[in-house]
């Protein structure tokens, strides 16, 4: 049963996370710690969203404003004696790719990017009663840029355009990870509870803005933002020969995350560039099956409930439902996992513009290659 857990565990990969909390691109799993022996894996994901909306009772249509994006992660794990393991994980915790097409819409031509990288070092100690404790440090970088083009209309007639530009430096900051796990290897059972601390960043913002009515502004300012704390509950168990049930519950305190620089506030008072009014819960459940010594397959479903809050214009969706399928091929010390995932994005109303975004979706694909040595 331990072999099937190793073969199927990778099938829980998100195929390029889309789109818990809109900007989340890593679920911060600690599954690497439970691989056997010395192990290294590389994961690549690609996501193709289709997100569009309209302002009701007007001709204003946004077009597809969500750009395609890719994600990657690299992880290494090795044992230090019989009771201790270490792991190193490189990933991209958050990101955004916004690209409103030209046309008749208040935000036509608006673009935005958010980039992050993280390195997490983990240490795990195993007790004799099937319980283990783990923890570590996370170093994280964040940077972003945006060009907000906002057309002002009055009674259907064009009045003026606000052209706002933002570019930040790259800020580095640190957080930590702590967790506890219980295992019963004979039936491939495992439960792991992990806390990821919030990471506070102070970004230097180079801002400019022009508007024929409100005037021009330019300057360099600082603003604080927090990549939020989160809790993961990951579990798996064998339920029949060669069959594995697995899943996770994830909570993220997205109300901590805010981007609202000084000059941006002048042009858009009371409408933050990025903000969330509620935390998010994400649930995933999967069923895996080993067909032969070399081939395994799995199906996963995920659900993030709607909050009912109005959203920002750079991430206009509220919750999601998804289904994914994957397969793993194992050959000697190598295993290759591929998966695809269909995501139905929840409808949302946006702040400021008052647009309604519904009937939106995303298609994700991912591949993971792992070696034991």
Average pLDDT, consecutive stretches of 10 residues, N- to C-terminus, the chain (373 residues): 50 47 86 94 94 94 94 96 96 96 94 98 96 99 98 79 97 99 95 99 98 95 97 96 95 96 96 95 95 95 95 93 95 94 96 94 94 94
The residues, any chain, with a CB within 8 Å of residue 215's CB and separated by 6 or more, are none
Q: Where are the domains of the chain?
A: 2-372
Provide the pairing of β-strand 243-252 with 217-227: unpaired
pTM score, whole prediction: 0.93
Distances (CA, A) of 305 to 25, 236, 292, 363: 18, 23, 37, 19
Which CATH superfamily includes the segment(s) 2-372? Outer membrane protein transport protein (OMPP1/FadL/TodX) (2.40.160.60)
Q: What is the pLDDT of residue 1?
A: 53
Answer yes or no: are the C-beta atoms of 181 and 225 closer than 8 Å. Answer: no
Q: Which of 5, 66, 20, 9 is nearest to 43 (CA)?
A: 9
Distances (CA, A) of 67 to 7, 51, 146: 33, 9, 14
Answer yes or no: are the C-beta atoms of 231 and 251 closer than 8 Å. Answer: yes
Q: What is the pLDDT of residue 272?
A: 95
Q: Which of 140, 130, 250 is nearest to 203 (CA)?
A: 140
* Neighbouring C-beta atoms of residue 102, cutoff 10 Å: 9
Q: What is the pLDDT of residue 14?
A: 43
The residues, any chain, with a CB within 8 Å of residue 227's CB and separated by 6 or more, are 93, 94, 116, 140, 142, 175, 198, 199, 201, 256, 257
Cα separation, 143 vs 81, in Å, equals 39
Q: What is the pLDDT of residue 62?
A: 97
Q: What is the pLDDT of residue 235?
A: 96
Q: What is the pLDDT of residue 208?
A: 98
């Amino acid at each position: 049963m331990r072999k099937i857990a190793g073969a199927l565990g990778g099938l829980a990969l998100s195929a390029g996370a889309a789109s818990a909390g809109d900007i989340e691109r890593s679920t911060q799993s600690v599954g690497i710690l439970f691989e056997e022996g010395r192990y290294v894996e590389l994961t690549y994901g690609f996501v193709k969203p289709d997100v569009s909306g309209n302002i009701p009772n007007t001709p204003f249509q946004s077009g597809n404003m969500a750009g395609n994006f890719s994600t990657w992660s690299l992880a290494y794990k090795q044992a230090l004696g019989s009771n201790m393991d270490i792991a190193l994980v490189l990933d991209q915790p958050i990101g955004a790719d916004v690209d409103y097409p030209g046309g008749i819409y208040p935000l036509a031509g608006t673009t935005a990017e958010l980039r992050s990288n993280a390195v997490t070092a983990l240490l795990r100690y195993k007790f004799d009663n099937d319980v283990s404790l783990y923890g570590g440090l996370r170093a994280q970088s964040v940077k972003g840029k945006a060009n907000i083009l906002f057309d002002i209309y009055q009674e259907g007639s064009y009045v003026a355009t606000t052209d706002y530009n933002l570019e930040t430096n790259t800020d580095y900051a640190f957080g930590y990870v702590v967790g506890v796990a219980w295992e019963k290897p004979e039936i491939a059972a495992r439960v792991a509870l992990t806390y990821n601390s919030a990471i506070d960043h102070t970004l230097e913002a180079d801002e400019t803005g022009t508007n024929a009515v409100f005037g021009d502004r330019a300057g360099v300012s600082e603003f604080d933002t927090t990549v939020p704390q989160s809790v993961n509950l990951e579990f798996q168990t064998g339920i029949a020969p060669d069959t594995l049930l697995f899943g996770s519950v994830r909570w993220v305190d997205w109300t901590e995350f805010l981007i609202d620089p000084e000059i941006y506030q002048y042009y858009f008072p009371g409408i933050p560039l990025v903000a969330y009014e509620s935390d998010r819960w994400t649930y995933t459940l999967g069923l895996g099956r080993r067909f032969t010594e070399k081939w395994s397959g799995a199906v996963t479903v995920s659900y993030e409930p709607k909050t009912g809050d109005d959203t920002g214009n750079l991430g206009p969706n509220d919750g999601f439902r998804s289904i994914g399928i994957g397969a793993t091929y194992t050959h000697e010390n190598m295993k290759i996992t591929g998966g695809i995932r269909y995501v139905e994005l929840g409808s949302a109303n946006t702040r400021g513009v008052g647009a309604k975004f519904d009937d939106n979706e995303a298609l994700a694909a991912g591949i993971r290659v792992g070696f034991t040595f």
